[in-house]
């Protein structure tokens, strides 16, 4: 059984309630279609002028990370994007496993703390 608990039409995020009859477990799952995020990130990624302007104006948009990916980073890698001490690992993940969400072809690295 699977029941939709919440749907955000703006972000496309959905929260589902379900159960595993064999194990008697209740399961809450989250899903989000990130295809539009990826399209926007790619169009910004290939726009070198956008990166140059951002760096010149002291605002460099490095990535566009949907909520479902923020949640995945925390669950899968133990990385909290809102924790400043985790930022070196966030950038490392953005440069490797989650590079499709980058909005620039440049690479930014923070030294591990």
pLDDT at 111: 65
pLDDT at 97: 96
The structural domains of the chain, with segments of one domain joined by +, span 1-31, 33-113
| Residue stretches of the chain with pLDDT short of 70 | 109-113
Listed in order, strand segments (DSSP E) in the chain are: 2-7, 14-20, 25-31
pLDDT at 60: 81
pLDDT at 113: 41
Selection from 110, 13, 4, 57 nearest residue 93 by Cα:
110
pLDDT at 107: 84
pLDDT at 86: 95
Selection from 74, 65, 71 nearest residue 100 by Cα:
65
CA distances from 94 to 19, 25, 90, 101 (A): 33, 33, 6, 7
């Amino acid at each position: 059984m699977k029941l939709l608990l919440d749907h955000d039409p703006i972000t496309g995020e959905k929260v589902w309630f379900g159960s595993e009859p064999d194990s008697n477990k209740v399961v809450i799952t989250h899903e989000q279609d990130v295809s539009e995020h990826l399209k926007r990130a790619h169009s910004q990624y290939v726009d070198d002028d956008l990166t140059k302007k951002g760096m010149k104006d002291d605002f460099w948009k490095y990535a566009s990370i949907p909520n479902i990916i923020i949640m995945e980073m925390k669950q899968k890698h133990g990385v909290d994007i809102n924790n400043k001490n985790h930022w070196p690992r966030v950038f490392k993940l953005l440069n490797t496993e989650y590079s499709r969400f980058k909005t620039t072809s440049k690479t930014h690295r923070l030294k591990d703390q």
